[in-house]
């Protein structure tokens, strides 16, 4: 099916030493980064200590760097390669009876493997960052219709219709007005579990979930009396205790690989019909536009919060793999047309 | 032969090309820039689609795998991947040509030796001089023992040793009854190596004759003037 020689060439050239050097330099800088100065707002975020938050944030930033460098590098490689081939630079291959389908399959496979190797190196390096144990894994979002206003005068009573089993609730609260330091309290109506947090602007309350069968009605309060806070159910999750923090790097690797795969497929197809620079710009714009809607965004947020990232959605994996299978077919078919139009 | 050119319609690049070449013969192609020499070679190599007419190469269609496997082609420029080493590139081309893996390394070494690049085998293509690239181009054209060899300006950028390498390769090709089509602007190349010389003007073949009859003292320029005049 594939042309092993072309595949090996693309793979080797995509792992070239300048990219390796750049990549490792960035990672090294990241590991020794001392300039990550948290603002006082960040310091008070959630149940993490400052050290923990720094450690997790470093990991999330590390992945951001890696995805940016590896993704951009490989997409640029794909685009420039196709652009050169649209001129006569591919004659040495075409006179060897390499069918366009096999050619594009080899190129895409080479780039996908290069991405996997790069992300593997990154996962190994990021794992060496000092990291506390990931205590939780996000299981599901808390289902609620709207944000709830919690006034200092009277507690807000909320029925939590969380899907799935879990060990704790992470509630995102934003203090909107009142004292410099707002005390937020959450307690179950029918269970002794409760949580307290003091924040200046916003924070996360980590409330242990009561035993199964107990009514899940939560009382939310803020102190002092003239303070107020907003509870955002969209950013609130049911958490489950997890002891497998090392799995986080593997899950991040998979998320990153899926994203880069999608970008590579789009770049290869776009490059056939437009100049390399325009194709890269278009794919970058597309990725930015849909980036916040991709699961990777949530995954990075989870990492920042010290939670174990989730496995990628099977549907996303299936869609990406389908895209990877279809891209060489479409590219091979388009290639003939592009050559004729040239 | 015509190329579609977007909304502006098609441009006829080659027309009125009527040519038959027997096995083991060497045909020279000469003509001013833009006369269609390279395009004709690319069409024979199966790199350009033929819109009309019939083009048969080695008894088959020029784009077919069977024919391409028996054809060696040296293009006008040398757009091989700059990051690969000469030996790696040749090995890869050998694999693509379907050569046996067992003897591939020996074949690669032999090819590089034939063109005088043995000591540069580990050098990256991007670091090679133009003359070295030309020699490398000759090595890859001869790599899979083709029956037809297409050479587009093979002496461009070659040094004196390179000329000797080419002469040696062509002599061997003649001994093995390999058919060669050679496009060049140098009368010396055409006189030395070719049995027949086709003069191309504006995408058509103006005349085909033995080079010694065709190339007078005035060189190729005089040939082009005469061909234009008779047309």
Of B4, B6, B95, the CB nearest to A5: B95
Contact in structure between A173 and A230 (CB atoms under 8 Å):
yes
pLDDT category, A43, cuts 50, 70, 90?
very low
Average pLDDT over residues A205-233: 78
Q: What is the pLDDT of residue B151?
A: 94
Say if A17 is an interface residue toward chain B (CB within 8 Å): no
Distance between CA atoms of residues A306 and A181, nearest Å: 24
B83 with A16: Cβ contact below 8 A: yes
Distance between CA atoms of residues B109 and B127, nearest Å: 19
Average pLDDT over residues B137-152: 93
Of B68, B71, B75, the CB nearest to A88: B75
Q: State yes or no: pLDDT of A308 exceeds 90.
A: no
Q: State yes or no: pLDDT of A226 exceeds 90.
A: no
Distance between CA atoms of residues B56 and A229, nearest Å: 82
Strands A194-199 and B71-74: unpaired
The answer to which of A2-6, A17-21, A33-37, A301-305 has the lowest mean pLDDT is: A33-37
B68 with A96: Cβ contact below 8 A: yes
**Domains of chain B in sequence order:** 2-230 (3.40.50.300)
The answer to which of A220-229, B31-40, B96-105 has the lowest mean pLDDT is: A220-229
Say if A20 is an interface residue toward chain B (CB within 8 Å): no
Give per-residue pLDDT as tens, B111-132.
999 999 999 999 999 899 989 9
Q: What is the pLDDT of residue A3?
A: 64
Distance between CA atoms of residues B230 and A225, nearest Å: 107
Q: What is the pLDDT of residue A40?
A: 36
Residues 6+ apart with CB under 8 A from B107: B94, B99, B143
With beta carbons under 8 A apart, name residues in chain B contacting A341. Answer: 4, 6
B81 with A13: Cβ contact below 8 A: yes
Taking CA atoms, what residue in A is nearest to B149?
A95
For chain B, give the number of residues: 231
Distance between CA atoms of residues A239 and B148, nearest Å: 70
Q: What is the pLDDT of residue A117?
A: 93
A92 with B93: Cβ contact below 8 A: yes
Q: State yes or no: pLDDT of A273 exceeds 90.
A: no
A84 with B45: Cβ contact below 8 A: no
Q: In terms of pLDDT, which residue wins out, A43 or B54?
A: B54
Token readout for A125 is 């390096």
Strands B71-74 and B2-4: unpaired
Taking CA atoms, what residue in B is nearest to A6?
B92
Distance between CA atoms of residues B26 and B149, nearest Å: 9
Average pLDDT over residues B148-176: 92
B49 with A5: Cβ contact below 8 A: no
Question: What is the CA A35 to chain-centroid distance, rounded?
Answer: 23
The answer to which of A57-66, A130-139, A223-232, B63-72 has the lowest mean pLDDT is: A130-139
Token readout for A65 is 């760097």
Q: What is the pLDDT of residue A119?
A: 92
Q: In terms of pLDDT, which residue wins out, B27 or A220?
A: B27
Q: State yes or no: pLDDT of A338 exceeds 80.
A: no
Token readout for B55 is 């083009």
Report the mean per-residue pLDDT for chain B: 85
Residues 6+ apart with CB under 8 A from A290: none
For B186, counting Cβ atoms within 10 Å of its Cβ (0-12 exposed, 13-18 middle, 19+ buried), the class is middle
Give per-residue pLDDT as tens, B203-222.
888 888 888 887 776 677 77
Q: What is the pLDDT of residue B54?
A: 83
ipTM of the complex: 0.71
Q: What is the pLDDT of residue B169?
A: 94
Average pLDDT over residues B160-182: 93
For A247, counting Cβ atoms within 10 Å of its Cβ (0-12 exposed, 13-18 middle, 19+ buried), the class is middle
Average pLDDT over residues A80-84: 86
B6 with A89: Cβ contact below 8 A: no
pLDDT category, A323, cuts 50, 70, 90?
very high
Give per-residue pLDDT as tens, A153-195.
777 877 777 555 778 888 877 777 666 777 778 888 777 777 7
pLDDT category, A29, cuts 50, 70, 90?
low
Which of A:269-328 have CB within 8 Å of B?
none
Q: State yes or no: pLDDT of A36 exceeds 70.
A: no
DSSP for B24-63 reads T-EEEEE-STTSSHHHHHHHHTT-S---SS---BTTB-TT
Q: What is the pLDDT of residue B11?
A: 57
CA distance A13 to chain B (A): 7
Distance between CA atoms of residues A53 and A58, nearest Å: 8
Q: Give the global pTM.
A: 0.75
Report the mean per-residue pLDDT for chain A: 78
For the sheet containing A194-199, what is the strand order? A156-159, A217-223, A182-188, A194-199
């Amino acid at each position: 099916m594939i042309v092993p020689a072309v595949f090996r060439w693309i793979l080797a050239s995509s792992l070239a030493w300048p990219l390796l050097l750049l990549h490792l330099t960035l990672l090294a800088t990241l590991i020794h980064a001392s300039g990550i100065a948290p603002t006082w707002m960040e310091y008070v975020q959630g149940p993490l200590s400052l050290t923990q938050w720094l450690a997790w944030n470093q990991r999330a930033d590390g992945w951001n760097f890696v995805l940016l460098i590896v993704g951009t590098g490989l997409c640029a490689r794909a685009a420039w390669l196709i652009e050169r081939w649209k001129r006569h630079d591919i004659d040495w291959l075409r006179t060897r009876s390499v069918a366009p389908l096999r050619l594009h399959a080899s190129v895409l496979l080479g780039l996908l493997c290069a991405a996997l190797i790069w992300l593997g190196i990154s996962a190994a390096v990021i794992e060496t960052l000092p990291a506390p144990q990931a205590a939780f894994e996000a299981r599901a979002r808390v289902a609620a219709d709207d944000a709830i206003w919690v006034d200092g005068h009277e507690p807000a009573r909320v029925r939590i219709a969380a899907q799935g089993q879990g060990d704790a609730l992470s509630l995102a609260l934003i203090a909107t007005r009142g004292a410099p330091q707002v005390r937020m309290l959450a307690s179950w109506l029918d269970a002794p579990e409760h949580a307290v947090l003091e924040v200046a602007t916003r924070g996360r309350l980590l409330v242990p979930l009561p035993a199964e069968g107990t009514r899940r009605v939560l009382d939310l309060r803020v102190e002092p009396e003239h303070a107020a806070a907003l509870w955002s159910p969209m950013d609130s999750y049911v958490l489950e205790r997890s002891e497998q923090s090392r799995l986080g790097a593997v899950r991040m690797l998979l998320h990153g690989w899926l994203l880069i795969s999608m970008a590579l497929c789009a770049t290869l197809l776009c490059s056939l019909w437009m100049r390399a620079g325009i194709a890269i710009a278009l794919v970058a714009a597309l990725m930015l536009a849909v980036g916040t809607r991709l699961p990777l965004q949530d995954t990075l947020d989870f990492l920042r919060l010290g939670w174990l990232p989730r496995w990628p959605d099977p549907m996303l994996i299936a869609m990406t793999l389908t895209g990877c299978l279809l891209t060489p077919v479409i590219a091979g078919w388009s290639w003939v047309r592009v050559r004729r139009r040239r | 032969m015509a190329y579609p050119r977007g909304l502006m319609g098609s441009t006829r690049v080659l027309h009125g090309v009527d040519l038959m070449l027997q096995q083991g013969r060497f045909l020279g192609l000469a003509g001013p820039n833009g006369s269609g020499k390279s395009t004709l070679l690319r069409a024979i190599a199966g790199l350009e689609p033929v819109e009309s007419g019939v083009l048969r190469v080695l008894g088959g269609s020029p784009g077919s795998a069977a024919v391409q496997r028996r054809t060696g082609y040296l293009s006008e420029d040398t757009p091989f991947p700059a990051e690969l080493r000469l030996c790696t590139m040749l090995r890869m081309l050998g694999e693509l040509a379907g050569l046996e893996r067992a003897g591939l390394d020996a074949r690669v070494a032999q090819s590089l030796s034939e063109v005088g690049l043995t000591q540069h085998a580990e050098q990256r293509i991007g670091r090679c001089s133009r003359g070295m690239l030309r020699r490398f181009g000759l090595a890859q054209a001869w790599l899979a023992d083709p029956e037809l060899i297409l050479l587009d300006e093979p002496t461009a950028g070659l040094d004196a040793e390179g000329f000797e390498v080419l002469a040696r390769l062509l002599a061997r090709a003649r001994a093995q009854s390999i058919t060669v089509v050679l496009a060049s602007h140098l009368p010396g190349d055409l006189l030395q190596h070719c049995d027949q010389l086709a003069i191309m003007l504006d995408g058509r073949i103006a005349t085909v004759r033995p080079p010694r009859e065709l190339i007078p003292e005035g060189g190729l320029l005089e040939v082009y003037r005469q061909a234009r005049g008779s047309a």
